Amino acid sequence: MALAPLKTESFPKYLYNTGPYHIWSDYFSTVPGLPSQPFCSERQGTPKYTILVKRDGDGNMWHSLLEIFSLYLTLDTLRITPLDPSAHSPEPFLSAADMSSAQIVILDDYPDGPFFDLWKAIAPLPVVRLKDIPSYGTAAACLDNVIIPLAGGSNPLWRGDWHTGSCTHSQLIDTFTRRVLSHYGHGAANTSSSTSLLPPRPKDDTDTTTTPDLTLTFIDRRTSRALVDTEQHLANLRLHFPRVRVQAIDFAALPFAEQIRIIQTTDVLVGVHGAGLTHALFLPEGASVVEIQPRRLNYKGFRNLAKMRGHRYFSAHAAANDSAPDWHDLDVSVGEDEFLELVGAGIRAVLHRGGREEDVVVVG
């Protein structure tokens, strides 16, 4: 691709060689002045708008969803920014009609991965890879308008995630959540799954009608940062909270659509620190998020996310484990009493929200 020079020195440089700076530097060439002859050959059916995406991977939910979120933020900004603010009825940089002829081109060579359907949902034309463009490798491509989206690492949800944020609500996050849920055929996550199905209020003291059981979903990590003695911990939960349906789910083994279905019926989400806790985006409002962090980690991203989605958040650190230098590779241990206290706090928080009428402690 050959274009007039563009000063990119001030462009931010993000991790994994993603974002506008790296895309411009790696995939474009510049020429002095205007060429007398075209440098590229026209190709049939060239989209009016080409969106160039370079992902930093294919399987990490946090990374992938924030990349998709950043593309939505880019497109929304273009839709509300006028080309000429002084005009009586200014046209935006990008209109709904423009999007009808937009196409995403994937620049990286990673596999599609479990979240690829969400890229397909953004623009109407089929998602293609750079290597599949007919002229790739033999001639420069002629593109009408190019959109290079913000990197996933630039996402406001990712920035400052090592510090506790003061924001308690985000319309941007709510909008992104609705878009994803809508794509998979779900309505907005407004109420706790248990309280949204409440039976009528009892007519008198003899009415034995009760509210539905809570559903607790434990993220069952299999490759790294597994919870030691998981089965024993979950058995203790079932013993101490018989009205709670406890399920352990290996989300990595499920299609993303099935993951969303499970999360939409979850009241308490429990897991060791990892990308699976990004599912806090899709929990029904009023749920609890419980995170077990490795001893040497003090990450605040999921705490901040849970708060902005209207959930209660509870955390604890695992027992010390110095068997590996990197916390990414460590399985974690928590005492039985500590685990019950931690997860019990999340369960009790849900019991006292919405229309539920259960006691937190049974007396006598």
Between 2 and 280, whose confidence is greater?
Answer: 280
pLDDT at 160: 85
The model carries a pTM of 0.88
Residue 86 has pLDDT above 90, yes or no: no
Percent with pLDDT over 70 in the chain: 81
For residue 199, name the pLDDT band (cuts at 50, 70, 90): very low
Evaluated on CA atoms 302, 304, 305, 309, the torsion sign reads positive
**In the structure encoding, which two tokens stand for residue 364, read together?**
């006598």
Q: Name the average pLDDT for the chain.
A: 87
Crossing angle of helices 171-183 and 61-80, rounded to 10°? 110
User: Are 199 and 209 a contacting pair, CB within 8 Å?
Assistant: yes
Give the CA angle between residues 213, 210, 349 to the nearest 5°: 50
Task: Identify the band that residue 359 occupies on the pLDDT scale cut at 50, 70 and 90.
Answer: confident
Whether 94 has a pLDDT exceeding 90, the answer reads yes
- CB neighbour class for 321 (10 Å; exposed up to 12, middle 13-18, buried from 19): middle
